[in-house]
Amino acid sequence: MGPGIGGQKQVIGADVGGTKIAASLVDMRGSVLSSVRRPTDLGGAEATLDSIADTVKELMAINGLDASGIDAIGFGIPGLVDAERGIGIASVNLGWRNVAVRSGLESRLGIRCAIDNDVRAGALGEARFGAARGLGNWVYLNIGTGISAVIWLEGKVFTGVRGLAGEIGHAVLVPDGPRCKCGGRGCFEAVAAGPAIAERALEKIRRGRASLLAPPGSGPLPDTLTAEAVFGYAALGDSVAVETLKEVGTLTAYALEYLALAYDPDLIVIGGSVVAGSPLLFEVIQNELRELRDTSWVFGRSNSKDLVMLSALGNNAGVLGAAALVAPQP
Amino acid sequence: MGPGIGGQKQVIGADVGGTKIAASLVDMRGSVLSSVRRPTDLGGAEATLDSIADTVKELMAINGLDASGIDAIGFGIPGLVDAERGIGIASVNLGWRNVAVRSGLESRLGIRCAIDNDVRAGALGEARFGAARGLGNWVYLNIGTGISAVIWLEGKVFTGVRGLAGEIGHAVLVPDGPRCKCGGRGCFEAVAAGPAIAERALEKIRRGRASLLAPPGSGPLPDTLTAEAVFGYAALGDSVAVETLKEVGTLTAYALEYLALAYDPDLIVIGGSVVAGSPLLFEVIQNELRELRDTSWVFGRSNSKDLVMLSALGNNAGVLGAAALVAPQP
């Protein structure tokens, strides 16, 4: 088969996670034509690269494509990535340190590959296919296991002097708050990322609050309570879960207000699994932002009601972001 | 007299405040050669413009200069200023609304004039003559009666989409904290600007704390306690004053950390009267930033010890900033 139906160009985007790899065939308008998901093999860098390449090969086989039918493949990778040199510098999730990811994949697939950090890829997907199409100044705020922002100024990613611009996940949001992975206390990430939401709910239960998250008689407190469980029980009206999301949403709104006043962007897009996973959490954030705008005339000038939006790409954000790494500009 | 001694170019910078006007003759290296201070006439816009022009005329007379000896005059004006059109849009301190400041001054003085907001002028002074010479990406954070930041990216002021970039004085720093002039609660400005510092100290005294700021038997609590008084008594070891500055300095450090992680600048210069007025306050801020860097490896990457500095222009920041509005680039 040639370069897509009717000569329409197609690329492949692959979202590499610590548990699974998703690869999709994507057209130039950001439509996902076909997808494959496989578990990530974490038995060393070579095995991981094999499992990534195999996922892509399976996608190509299903669609009757060979190497000549695909221009390029983009990969979104967790952790620190040197996109230019094609190196996975460090990834806790994949157990990687200085892995030559791009050349490893190109030699396995015989197709030009591009890699980047998955959050930057997500932002690129939003710019190319999603809510930020055509915008020059906007911010992509990823809230998942961690929190970081990708800053767009005049249509380009702004990285700051040391590549740290947007690392607001590690600014203190709650003085003397929970310990953060970075070593700090009360960082935005330690208060509002997925693990922090689960921990906040657990803490309420440890202090004796009744909750469907840990019903009495159900044994020891779960060590593995997830943000998803909190979202689910909040939707059922569990008071601990609801209260947790109200607190976290309010604090998240403060961090968003600071971001909006620092950069005065056209739009802030929230990506990642956390806010997208809970309509209640997003509603709390929007309500608090509205309250802040209605009381402060300075912040009130900062926006329309649509200053903060959820990613428009939903479950496909990962693969579309990866595809955007190699999709030619329209 | 011609255009300065030995042909060296000179300009005039005037810093217009709500109580006084300072005008200085400045050379191209940022040396202040001669200065005049006069009270501001607040009896209407025309009277105010007269008093500004008279201050400049006095400076010129003292230095034996006529209109042919000065290329241009720069004016730093409080409040909202449309620099391009030369309009003072609104100033609480001057009681101005849509005043044609530039044309009013040019017709009075017969010399080309430029105006801008005093904080932006202060930032320009720092870029031209002060700590930020030669830097592309840096932030000027003004802490005085209000708080706002001027953002420099690639050597130019970045204003954001609506001109609000850097208005972080109105981001919530302390949820449900003190009421802010903007209508919000607990804004950075409502917690850390001059009036907020005075109010925090007063609040401690109202709650019964003994302090040299309001000794027992000295009558009713002062309504007019100033940040300067807090700085002065803190230097003498007054516990209320010291505690006030420790609290405010710690909170200011959090706002600086967020700013540093948002923009990842080469340098943050603190201008305005507040931090410059209190070595203790600056020390608390620096100590807390060091603590934050030592605990968080992410923020730890953000800097050297010199990430945050005080303005290098001291008492001359206002007039040098105004002069920078019209000083040709070297």
Residue by residue, what is the 3-state secondary structure of B192-240? HCHHHHHHHHHHHHHCCCCCCCCCCCCCCCCCCCCHHHHHHHHHCCCHH
* Chain-chain contact of B264 with A297 (C-beta, under 8 angstroms): no
Q: Which of B140, B158, B164, B257 to mutate to test the interface with A (most CBs of A within 10 A)?
A: B164
Q: Hey, is the C-beta of A174 within 8 angstroms of any chain B C-beta?
A: no
Higher confidence at residue A80 or residue B236? B236
> Which residues of chain B are within 8 Å of residue A163 when distances are taken between CB atoms?
264
Tell me if B222 is assigned to some domain. Answer: yes
- Give which of B138, B162, B248, B258 to mutate to test A binding, by max A Cβ within 10 Å: B258
Let me know if residue B329 belongs to a domain.
no
User: Does the residue A176 lie in any domain?
Assistant: yes
This model of the complex carries an ipTM of 0.91
**Does residue B98 belong to any structural domain of this protein?**
yes
The partner residue sitting opposite A175, judged by closest CB among B184, B254, B297, is B254
The pLDDT of residue A8 is: 60
- The domain tally of chain B equals 2
Do A177 and A102 have their domain in common?
Answer: no
Confidence of residue B3 (pLDDT cuts 50, 70, 90): very low
Task: Report how many Cβ contacts below 8 Å link chain A to chain B.
Answer: 147
The distance of B203 to chain A (nearest Cα, Å) reads 21
Q: Is the pLDDT of residue B1 over 80?
A: no
pTM of the model: 0.92
pLDDT value at B4 more than 60: no
Q: Which candidate, A322, A320, A310, places its Cα nearest to that of A274?
A: A310
* Residues B222, B87 within the same domain: no
Indicate whether A257 belongs to any domain.
Answer: yes
Spell out which residues of chain A touch residue B146, defining contact as CB-CB under 8 Å.
none
Q: What number is the average pLDDT over the span A34-41?
A: 96
pLDDT for A221 equals 67
- Categorize the per-residue pLDDT at B330 as very low, low, confident or very high, splitting at 50, 70 and 90: low
What one-character-per-residue DSSP string does B59-89 give?
HHHHTT--GGG-SEEEEEESSEEETTTTEEE
Same domain, B95 and B200: no
Chain A residues with beta carbon closer than 8 angstroms to that of B153: 153, 158
Q: What residue numbers bound the domain in which B36 lies? A: 5-125+316-324
User: CA-to-CA distance for B234 and B213, rounded, in angstroms?
Assistant: 10
* Interface contact flag, B262 A261, Cβ < 8 Å: no
pLDDT at B287: 96
Q: Would you say residue A136 has pLDDT above 80?
A: yes
* B259 chain-A contacts, CB cut-off 8 A: 262
CATH classification of the domain holding B56 = 3.30.420.40
CB contact under 8 A, A182 and B296: yes
Contact between A180 and A195 (Cβ < 8 Å): no
Task: Please list every residue in chain A whose beta carbon sits closer than 8 Å to the beta carbon of residue B300.
Answer: 183
Nearest CA in chain B to A251: B175
Collect all residues of chain B within an 8 Å Cβ-Cβ radius of residue A293.
Answer: none
pLDDT one-digit tens code per residue, B103-141: 999 999 999 999 999 999 999 999 999 999 999 999 999
Stretch A287-308: mean pLDDT, rounded? 89
Q: CB distance from A218 to chain B under 8 Å?
A: no
- Tell me the C-alpha to C-alpha distance, in Å, between residue B148 and each of B117, B139, B265: 11, 10, 16
Q: Are residues A140 and A238 in the same domain?
A: yes
Q: What is the pLDDT of residue B219?
A: 67
Query: Which region, left, alpha or beta, applies to residue A64 given φ > 0 means left and ψ of -120 to 50 means alpha?
Result: left
Q: Tell me if A330 is assigned to some domain.
A: no
Q: Which residues contact B171 (CB under 8 A, 6 or more apart)?
A: A254, A257, A258, A261, A262, A299, B187, B188, B255
- Whether B11 and B108 map to the same domain: the answer is yes
Taking an 8 Å cut-off on Cβ atoms, the answer to whether A165 and B295 are in contact is: no
Same domain, A23 and A167: no
**Chain A residues inside the 8 Å CB shell of B184:** 292, 295-296, 298-299
- Whether the pLDDT of residue A1 is over 50: the answer is no
So what's the pLDDT on residue B94?
A: 92
Instruction: Residue window 21-50, chain A: list those with CB within 8 Å of chain B.
Output: none
- For A172, the closest of B254, B259, B266 (CB atoms) is B254
Residue A234 falls inside a structural domain:
yes
Distance in Å, alpha carbon of B134 to nearest chain A alpha carbon: 14
The whole-angstrom separation of Cα B258 and Cα A168 is: 6
The rounded distance, in Å, linking the Cα atoms of A190 and A169 is: 8
Q: Which amino acid is at A102?
A: R
**Cβ of A291 under 8 Å from any chain B Cβ?**
no
Does A309 contact B at CB distance below 8 Å? no
Looking at the fold, whether A59 and A197 belong to one and the same domain comes out as no
Chain B contacts in chain A segment 106-135 (CB below 8 A): none
pLDDT tens digits for A218-256? 666 666 789 999 999 999 999 999 999 999 999 999 999
- Whether residues A218 and A262 share a domain: the answer is yes
Chain B nearest-CA distance from A145, in A, is 16
Mean pLDDT of A281-288: 97
Same domain, B117 and B211: no
Q: Checking DSSP bridges between strand A138-143 and strand A267-271, what pairing results, if any? A: parallel
With cut-offs at 50, 70 and 90, classify the pLDDT of residue B317: very high
Residue A329 resides in a domain = no
Beta strands in chain A (DSSP E): 10-16, 20-27, 32-39, 72-77, 80-82, 87-91, 96-99, 112-117, 138-143, 147-153, 156-158, 267-271, 308-310
Residues A73 and A194 placed together within one structural domain of the fold: no
Q: Which residues in chain B are contacts of A302 at CB distance < 8 A? A: 162, 164, 167
User: Tokens in use for B242?
Assistant: 């010291």
**Is residue B165 domain-shared with residue B98, that is, in the same domain?**
no
Same domain? B144 vs B55: no
Q: Which residues of A touch B135 (CB under 8 A)?
A: none
